[in-house]
């Protein structure tokens, strides 16, 4: 009976997609007038649409000139406002044009659902006036976001600890890095908070509390080799990031060699975010096929949703030496009936030097047989070729990485899995190179 469960879930998913398409067609017929109006107007030049009118209760203004000049426009489907009901995450694809560089695709994010954005407005008003509605701009100056005025020299852990995952356990070194690399100011490069304007300080703190993803992308930029999408800028409550490519889910049924390469990169990301020269451990708390994308040219895997990332400063942990700080921490495997679920303790992630969380998250939710997404199971490395399946090594390593049977088994399994995937990927590239250099010869008989 259980054997047919993935099949039934797959059929259910396809039926839901069909119903979605039919519903979309009906909505199109009902909104014909609005349809033509949407294509004639570039709403990204509208201050109210991008919530520029709510600043400093916003995410920044560094890209406002580009928005106001019409250099950014929604792609076809993004222009249809009645489709926003399906776009719960408020993520849009757009075209960005420069006179000398031409146009390119970018991603626009509101960093939250409409309800979440409304909630933050109401919280700001309530803290300032006791009411849920107010003059938002005036209210910002009466909240904790304005408490750090020009007399405050540094952004310190005691002020922002626990505001979001990024600062669940912040060190002074991390906060200095965040301020120094803050991109929504013309005078970036200084870790002194007093060098920011009042509005810039409030925007930074607002972002840190509501959704710190832009600050993760700025503090750990792709230009320096971190596996995150490139941050471009913001205007009001619309943030622009570089378009990476198709989501990882699009490669679930790709050729085996491609999936092996992607799996190897995912394990490399887990290693890089756990152990690096900067002694910052970045733990991914939300790992799913939708939160990674693959570059169309270089095939590089990138994290495209960095909202839920805990950053632990290993140097601070070694310095403070909390209880059992030097004991290896093993994440606990727990089966659940939901997609992309993980078990973790943020406090433990913040108090141990050696942690296996990232290996656990990647193996369980993306690579192993425990991975379930959109009605499909088996993980990215499902259905290996017969000779690999017969060997059994891959299955053993994936199982031990996701659900270890030995103490500290995941650490060793992750290391061996990276090595094994590197070997498989290298073998696949050699075969491809040999095939290209020695293409099959067709024998034609002249008559």
Beta bridge mates, 105:
95
Q: pLDDT per residue over 214-225, tens digit each?
A: 999 999 999 999
367-415 residue pLDDT tens:
999 998 988 889 999 999 999 999 999 999 999 999 999 999 999 999 9
pLDDT score of 351? 97
Per-residue pLDDT at 244 exceeds 70: yes
| Cα–Cα dist 87/85, whole Å | 6
Count Cβ atoms below 10 Å from residue 4 Cβ, excluding itself.
8
**What are the pLDDT digits (tens) for 256-291?**
999 999 999 999 999 999 999 999 999 999 999 999
Q: Report the half-sphere exposure of 333 (CA within 13 A, side-chain side).
A: 23
Can you tell me the mean pLDDT for 68-83? 77
Task: Decide if pLDDT at 436 tops 60.
Answer: no
Phi/psi for 300 (5° steps) reads -80, 135
Residue found under tokens 């054997």: 3
Q: What is the mean pLDDT of residues 299-318?
A: 98
Q: Give the Cα separation of 70 and 66 in Å (integer).
A: 6
- If one counts every other C-beta atom within 10 angstroms of the C-beta of residue 403, the result is 19
Q: What is the pLDDT of residue 82?
A: 54
Range of lowest pLDDT (70-74, 80-84, 172-176, 204-208): 80-84
Instruction: Find where tokens 């009001």 sit.
Output: 236
Q: Work out the average pLDDT over 148-176.
A: 91
Band (305; pLDDT cuts 50, 70, 90)? very high
d(CA 19, CA 228): 35
Q: Is the pLDDT of residue 53 over 80?
A: yes
Q: Is residue 77 predicted with pLDDT exceeding 70?
A: no
Confidence (pLDDT) at 1: 42
> Can you give the pLDDT at residue 188?
72
Q: Residue 78's pLDDT is what?
A: 58
Query: What average pLDDT does the chain have?
Result: 88
CB distance 113 to 129 below 8 Å: no
pLDDT of residue 443: 45
Angle between helices 256-274 and 409-437 (to 10 degrees): 140
Max intra-chain CA distance, the chain: 94
**Is 90 exceeded by the pLDDT of residue 210?**
yes
Mean pLDDT, to the nearest integer, of 24-42? 57
Q: What are the tens digits of pLDDT across the range 320-367?
A: 999 999 999 999 998 777 788 898 999 999 999 999 999 999 999 999
DSSP assigned state of 74: E
pLDDT for position 190: 85
pLDDT of 71 > 50? The answer is yes
Residue 228: band (very low, low, confident or very high) from pLDDT cuts 50, 70, 90: very high
Q: Which residue has the higher pLDDT, 150 or 395?
A: 395
- DSSP classification of residue 116: H
Least confident of 30-44, 67-81, 98-112, 358-372: 30-44
State pTM to two decimals: 0.86
Mean pLDDT, range 152-159, rounded to an integer: 90
Separation of alpha carbons 223 and 234, rounded Å: 18
Residues with Cβ < 8 Å from 234, sequence gap 6 or more?
58, 59, 60, 61, 62, 63, 184, 214, 240
Q: Residue 385's closest CA among 434, 424, 420, 416?
A: 424
Residue 431's pLDDT is 64
- Residue entry with tokens 């560089």: 101
Please list, in sequence order, all residues whose beta carbon lies within 8 angstroms of the beta carbon of residue 169, skipping any fewer than 6 positions away: 161, 310, 312, 313, 346, 347, 350, 351
Q: How many CB atoms lie within 10 A of CB 186?
A: 7
* Under 8 Å between Cβ of 204 and 176: no
Distance (Å, whole) CA 153 – CA 144: 16
């Amino acid at each position: 009976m259980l054997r047919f469960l993935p099949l039934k879930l797959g059929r259910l998913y396809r039926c839901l997609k069909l119903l979605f398409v039919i519903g979309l067609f009906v909505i199109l017929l009902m909104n014909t007038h609005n349809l033509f109006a949407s294509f004639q107007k570039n709403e990204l030049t509208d201050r109210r649409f991008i919530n520029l009118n709510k600043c400093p209760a916003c995410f920044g203004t560094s890209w406002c000139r580009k928005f106001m000049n019409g250099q950014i426009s929604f792609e076809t489907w993004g222009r249809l406002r009645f489709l926003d009901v399906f776009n719960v995450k408020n993520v849009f694809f757009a075209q960005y044009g420069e006179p000398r560089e031409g146009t390119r695709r970018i991603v626009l994010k509101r960093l939250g659902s409409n309800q979440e954005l409304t909630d933050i407005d109401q919280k700001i008003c309530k803290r300032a006036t006791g009411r849920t509605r107010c003059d938002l701009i005036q209210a910002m100056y009466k909240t904790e976001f304005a408490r750090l005025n020009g007399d405050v020299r540094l952004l310190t852990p005691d002020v922002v600890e626990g505001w979001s995952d990024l600062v669940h356990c912040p060190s002074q070194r991390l906060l200095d890095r965040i301020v120094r690399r803050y991109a929504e100011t013309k005078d970036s490069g200084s870790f002194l908070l007093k060098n920011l304007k009042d509005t810039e300080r409030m925007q930074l703190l607002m972002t840190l509390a509501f959704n710190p993803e832009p600050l993760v992308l700025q503090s750990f930029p792709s230009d320096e080799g971190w596996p995150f999408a490139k941050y471009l800028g913001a205007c009001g409550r619309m943030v622009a990031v570089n378009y990476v490519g198709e989501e990882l889910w699009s490669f679930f049924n790709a050729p085996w060699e491609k999936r092996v390469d992607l799996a190897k990169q995912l394990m490399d990301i887990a290693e890089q975010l756990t152990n690096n020269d900067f002694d910052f451990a970045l733990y991914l708390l939300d790992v799913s096929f939708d939160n990674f994308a693959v570059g169309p040219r270089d095939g590089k895997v990138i994290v495209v949703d960095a909202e839920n990332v805990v950053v632990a400063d290993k140097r601070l942990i070694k310095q403070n030496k909390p209880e059992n700080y030097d004991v290896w921490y093993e994440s606990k495997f727990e089966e659940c009936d939901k997609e992309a679920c993980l078990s973790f303790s943020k406090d433990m992630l913040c108090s141990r030097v050696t942690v296996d969380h990232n290996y656990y998250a990647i193996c369980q939710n993306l690579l192993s047989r425990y991975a379930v997404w959109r009605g499909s199971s088996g993980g990215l490395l499902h259905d290996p070729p017969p000779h690999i399946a017969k060997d059994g090594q891959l299955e053993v390593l994936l199982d031990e990485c996701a659900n270890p049977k030995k103490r500290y088994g995941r650490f060793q399994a992750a290391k061996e899995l990276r090595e094994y995937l590197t070997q498989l990927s290298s073998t696949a590239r050699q075969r491809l190179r040999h095939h290209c250099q020695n293409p099959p010869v067709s024998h034609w008989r002249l008559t």
